Amino acid sequence: MKSKIISTIPIDTFSISLPPVAMSNKARRKDTLIRALGITALAILILTGVAGAAPFAYVTSLGVDTGTVFVIDTTTNNLTAVVPVEGWPFGVAINPAGTKVYVADLSGTSTTVSVIDTATNTVEAVVDVGGYPRGVAVDPTGSRVYVTNRYSVVDNDSNNVSVIDTSTNSVVGRVNVGLSTYNVAFTPDGKKIYATNSRNNTTSVIDATTNKVTDTVPVGDHPTDIAISPDGNKVYVTNSGSNNVSVIDTATNTVTTTVPVGDGPCDVAFSSDGKKAYVPNKRSDNVSVIDTATNTVTATVPVGITPLGVAVTPDGNKVYVTNAESDNVSVIDTATNTVTATVNAGIYPTGIVIVPLKDSNMTAQSTGATSNATEDIGIEETNLSSEEINTVELNNSKKNNSESDNGSSSGGNESSKNNSTPGFGLLGSLTCLYGGWKLRKK
């Protein structure tokens, strides 16, 4: 039997090619590691940018020649933009996405609502609602805006609520309600709307699907403003004539308790967890802090003259209050219930809303103010610059000394949003990664 000869190849033959293979694998592992680190860094920087993004407060100000909306960075309390709008801007609301702000003109000479794009801080549309708009609320989906019209012209001086389709910025319907309807608010599920009627001391309950009034709840004297708790179980109605707040149970649509507050309560806002409610009292120049579990006032915070509007930051750490006759905004620290800063906000600031965080599940609530803006407010004529930048510099430089100097201010040529916006964090992330890539290439 012949032996089968198998040709062999010396192992040294393979040893020649092994080093390049080993080096290639090592390079690949290094490259993969660098990419993984880069992706991780990008994710961290993007998340940091988003998490550190400050909500912006939008403050309506009657002004002198024209109304304005002031934009305040709630991290630095610096004024970052001034948006001219029509007439006397008063009621204001923001959509849940934080992209649009709706501002009602209370002047009585126009019947419009201005729509502000928060990305550019410019008015992108003006909607004629056919009546004298006062209060504004956006539904939880952001598809509809409800605007209260006092003494609506289109319906022979009856009162109604106009419904705006946000996709077309046009009025698509109206809801007939009570006498002198002031403000509206949505339940978080978007199924019901509550509207205050100041002249017959009631609150209307509206079915959001049919736009029909399904119930009418008697409340206190001269109800004006309204807010609904984040869990949707309670409606707080400020009664400026009886100096108290009516608490409505949404399950039964009945008043379960009444909370005495200061003189002339005119707005209300809940903390994001629903544990506290803040009520500015326009005639006593303070804010009542209500414990919503017990429905008792646990603190009273002195602020400026004639506080009208109130809003709470999404993290619940600050409360912003517009002081109409002080021409500024008080910033309250919720941990201590003390004013820690004062921000100048034009002439006769009224309403205020704060942009919700992008990952927040809170529903944007409308923010109202008082009917006193229709009276003679006695504003002394003031020369205001027509250029936004001069206004920004003026207001930032005039911040109250009670605010600590944080070394940050709005520069003259800054855009409407400063470095606390999420976009800056993303840009920084990409810049860092690009620099790292270039370095590795070298």
CATH label of the domain that carries residue 228 = 2.130.10.10
Nearest residue to 266 (alpha-carbon basis) of 325, 315, 346: 325
Structure tokens at 418: 């400063």
Per-residue pLDDT, averaged over 212-222, amounts to 96
Residue 409 clears pLDDT 70, i.e. is over it: no
Give the closest residue to 337 by CA, choosing from 387, 281, 297, 377. Answer: 297
Q: Locate 156 and state its tokens.
A: 């022979």
CB atoms within 10 A of CB 427: 14
Q: Is residue 436 in some structural domain?
A: no
Q: Which residue has the higher pLDDT, 409 or 56?
A: 56
Q: Percent of the chain, pLDDT > 90?
A: 58
The model's confidence at residue 9, banded by pLDDT at 50, 70 and 90, is very low
| Separation in Å, CA 410 to CA 77, 123, 406 | 10, 22, 12
3-class secondary structure, 319: strand
Higher pLDDT, 23 or 376: 23
* Higher per-residue pLDDT: 223 or 31: 223
- The answer as to whether 207 is a domain residue is yes
| Average pLDDT for 34-44 | 48
Computed over every residue of the chain, the mean pLDDT equals 76
What's the rounded mean pLDDT across residues 210-233?
Answer: 96
Work out the burial of residue 436: count CB atoms within 10 Å of its CB; fewer than 13 is exposed, 13-18 middle, 19 or more buried. Answer: middle
Supply the pLDDT for residue 25.
53
Region 125-134: mean pLDDT is 90
Examine residue 164 and state whether it is found in any structural domain, yes or no: yes
- CA of residue 100 relative to chain centroid, distance: 10
More confident residue, 328 or 109: 328
Total domains present in the chain: 1
Average pLDDT of span 211-222: 96
* Tens of pLDDT, residues 271-310: 999 999 999 999 999 999 999 999 999 999 999 999 999 9
Considering the entire predicted model, what is its pTM? 0.73
State both tokens at 71: 């934009």
Tens digit of each residue's pLDDT (9 = 90 or more) over 169-199: 999 999 988 778 899 999 999 999 999 998 8
Q: pLDDT tens, 89-107?
A: 999 999 999 999 999 998 8
Examine the pLDDT at 389 and tell me if it is beyond 80.
no
Strand partners, 137: 146
pLDDT, tens only, 147-169: 998 765 445 455 789 999 999 99
**What's the pLDDT at 432?**
42
pLDDT winner (highest mean) among 10-19, 28-37, 341-350: 341-350
The CA-atom distances, in angstroms, between 122 and each of 66, 126, 231, 259, 308 are 15, 11, 33, 40, 25
Report if residue 64 sits inside a domain: yes
Exposure class string for 219-253: b at 16+ Cβ within 10 A, else e: bbebbbbbbbbbebebbbbbbbebbbbbbbebeeb
The mean-pLDDT minimum among 77-86, 302-311, 367-376 falls in: 367-376
435 in a structural domain: no
Q: Which pLDDT tens digit goes with each residue over 314-367?
A: 999 999 999 999 999 999 999 999 999 999 998 999 999 999 865 433 333 333
pLDDT on residue 359: 46
In this structure, is residue 17 part of a structural domain? no
Residue 8 lies in a domain: no
Domain limits for position 206: 54-397
Please report, rounded to a whole number, the percentage of residues in the chain having pLDDT higher than 70: 66
Q: Is residue 146 part of a domain?
A: yes
For the residues 124-133, what does the mean pLDDT come to? 90
